[in-house]
């Protein structure tokens, strides 16, 4: 949830989804895909719903982030 709020407020947070993906990739390597994939999908979905929509909107309207 904090990643989504950071995406909404800060430009530097644009790299947070990459960091989150890397963290879940490590979790997949250490545990099973069965556990890590739903957790990653939920975390990325919440982050997008809270703040990622703003970046997509800017990209569509202005052509830049």
Residue with tokens 């719903």: 49
The parent domain of residue 25 ranges over 1-7+14-38+46-52
Which of 42, 7, 46 is CA-nearest to residue 24? 42
Measured distance CA(52)–CA(23) in Å, rounded: 19
Q: Is 21 among the domain residues?
A: yes
User: For position 19, what pLDDT does the model report?
Assistant: 87
From the list 34, 50, 41, the residue with the least C-alpha distance to 20 is 41
Give pLDDT tens digits for 9-37.
777 777 888 888 898 889 888 887 788 88
**Does a structural domain hold residue 64?**
no
Number of domains in the chain: 1
Q: Over 90: is that where the pLDDT of 62 sits?
A: yes
Residue 19 domain-assigned (yes or no) = yes
Question: For 38-50, what is the mean pLDDT?
Answer: 87
């Amino acid at each position: 949830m904090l990643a989504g709020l950071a995406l909404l407020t800060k430009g530097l947070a644009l790299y947070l989804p990459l960091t989150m993906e890397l963290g879940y990739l490590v979790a997949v390597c250490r545990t099973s895909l069965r556990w890590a994939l739903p957790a990653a999908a939920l975390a990325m979905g919440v982050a997008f719903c809270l703040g990622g929509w703003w970046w997509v909107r800017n990209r569509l309207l202005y052509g830049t982030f």
